[in-house]
Amino acid sequence: MKDAAIGIFDSGVGGLTVLRALAERLPGESFLYLGDTARLPYGTKSAETVSRYAVQAAAALVKRRVKLLVIACNTASAVALPALQAAFADIPVIGVVAPGAQAAVEAAPDGPIAVIATEGTVRGGAYARAIHARAPHIEVLQQACPLFVPLAEEGLTDGDLAAAVARHYLEQMRKAAPKCLVLGCTHFPALKAVIASAMGPGVALVDSAATTAMAVERQLKSSGALRDGGAPAIQFLVTDAPDRFARVSRIFLGAPVDPGAVEPIDLQ
């Protein structure tokens, strides 16, 4: 299975920030990315619905022979990881929450730690649980920032509008003086500059995409599954609107995607 691709899925395009981090850290690996664009966003849906969607998306990737699954969606990582690990016991499954929580504790071992995410991720409290599992004494502050997702997808990642929204969400959190802020949604790295400005100096930002890439590298090394050579490839699958996916992908991937290279599929 060394030559098999790493499977990545997200509710849409935000998970491309995870793909970008993975491709930069593991340039010899191949990747198969699935965006469930027909059913996004996951962040406002029930845990039961998200778990069902996540298992269906993962099954589509497994059918195409992947050696590892990455849940590049914070909401799915927060609620569907146990279901995915049970359904695909023969394949390592890595979410973005645990690596992000570990990096946050390392950055601010005495806290406080702030987490910004979608409504679903904040409501589920997955980051708080993961942080407290590592450091029970740390105070965790959480804030849902739902408008960050459409801002990122429209490319409105800087300027007065993005700055105003960031201040609106983060003003109270800034007053609490956290030492670290977790970007708990894969869309949010696109807004890192305005988020950092709204929080002020001295707050370490943890990007779950980068920390997840490190976790994947450790897993592949420990299992002897790193690819030995050959020409790596990246394939894209979506459940709706391949043209829009290709157009918006540049914001998160940092490079254009050929619309003809995006394959539409149905999930059952």
Q: Which positions are catalytic?
A: 73, 185
Q: How many residues are there in the chain?
A: 268
C-alpha to C-alpha distance for 71 and 94, rounded to whole angstroms: 6
DSSP string, 194-217: HHHHHH-TT-EEEEHHHHHHHHHH
Task: Output phi, psi for 144, to 5 deg.
Answer: -80, 135
Decide: helix, strand or coil at residue 142.
strand
C-alpha to C-alpha distance for 35 and 26, rounded to whole angstroms: 21
- What is the 3-class SS of 46-60, one letter each residue? CHHHHHHHHHHHHHH
Q: Which residues pair with 68 in a beta bridge?
A: 6
Amino acid at 87: A
C-alpha to C-alpha distance for 58 and 43, rounded to whole angstroms: 18
Shortest CA distance to 103 belongs to which of 174, 180, 26, 178? 180
